[in-house]
Amino acid sequence: MRFFIIILFLSSFLNAQKFEGDDFLILEGENPNYYYVLTNQGYYLSNSPEKLNKYSKSIPESLNIGFNTLTGVTHNSKSYLLYPGGGLLYSFINGSIERIDRSFPHRNQYGGHFFSYKNNIYLIGGYGFWQTKNIITRYNFNNGDWEIINSTGQLPKGLDQGTYFVKDDDLYVFDFLTRNTNNQKEIRDNNIYTLNLENFNWKKLGVISDLIPSINLVKGTKRFFKIRNELIISYSDDPDFFVIDIEKNSVQKFKDEILFYKSINPVVKENKIIGAIKNPVTGDVSIGSFDTINNSYNLIEEASYLYRGSREFFKYIYLS
């Protein structure tokens, strides 16, 4: 069976935009007409991919790590780069990378989720100092510090390498790991939670479908994208991907026949997945675009529930 879904590979790569190695960061950027590719030598614009632009100022000395370890987010038409583990924060504006925080490398939230909501940027969960974290930190643009936000309700014990999706005022999270502090054993939490981003109250919604593979059992890196009102989950070493409709509480499994799962450090730009493809022979990296236009894919699994709460569980038991 074949099904129509909103991803189509654009065969025209930006062939002139080539560079060696994996040390780069693709940034969505503030302009709908182009995106950025940052490297330690300079940056590229997608509308002039053959030109390497020099930074207008020297890269801050504190940015002494690979660009591919940074996490980028666009917030209020500006681009921000987060140091791994949290703490150090940089802006990329007018061709310059500048440090804007007054903090230090926290090393406390590796694998956390960095995102923008309304007038703030947040880092949630992660792993640090031999513990998984369920904390929420918010950057204060006035004083340059990070603040811990108190939350209430049914808090997960820890949130490492989770899948996140923001719909309206709620942040959904599932398929994440906690760790036993005594033996560091990884345990997957099989529930889905929501965090209201207005009052920071947690709710446990139910148990997620067995169709979603556990993060600690799959091969490759998990990537997730918000395309329009749906969530796409893909894995770097697996052509199978999942399409989730939170509102309908549904999940479907498809086969990726255009190989976007092989893209490196992908981001979403104007409902397009932008990712890098590495030539295994030359080592050159080219940036490709996967547009959100109807295209047919092999449907592997029919639509199933994403999660079952108490009400859904009893319906499933007595009506199936």
Convert the pLDDT of each residue in 67-101 to its tens digit.
999 999 999 999 999 999 999 999 999 999 999 99
Mean pLDDT of the chain: 85
What percent of the chain clears pLDDT 90, i.e. is strictly above it?
Answer: 57
Instruction: Return the H-helix or E-strand segment holding 68.
Output: none
Residue 118 tokens, joined: 């309304």
- Length of the chain in terms of residues written: 320
Q: How much is the average pLDDT of 200-228?
A: 91
Taking each continuous run of H as one helix and of E as one strand, the counts in the chain are 1, 31
Pairing of strands 307-308, 222-227: unpaired
Give me the pLDDT at residue 1, please. Answer: 37
Report d(CA 159, CA 178) in Å as an integer: 6
Return the closest-CA partner of residue 137 out of 206, 97, 83.
83
Looking from the CA of 21 toward its CB, the CA atoms found within 13 Å total 10
pLDDT classification of 315: cutoffs 50, 70, 90: very low
- Tens of pLDDT, residue by residue over 252-305, are 988 776 566 667 778 888 777 888 877 777 777 788 777 654 555 567 767 889
The Cβ of residue 300 has, within 10 Å, a number of other Cβ atoms equal to 15
Rounded CA separation 320/304 (Å): 13
Burial of 151 (C-beta count, 10 Å sphere; 0-12/13-18/19+): middle
* Owner of token pair 């490709």: 288
Where do the domains of the chain lie, and which CATH numbers do they carry?
2-319 (2.120.10.30)
Give the pLDDT confidence of 110-145 residue by residue, as tens digits: 999 999 999 999 999 999 988 999 999 999 999 999
pLDDT tens string 225-248: 898 889 999 888 887 889 999 999
Flag whether pLDDT at 42 surpasses 50.
yes
- Indicate if the pLDDT at residue 156 is higher than 80: yes
- Confidence at residue 292, expressed as pLDDT on a 0 to 100 scale: 52
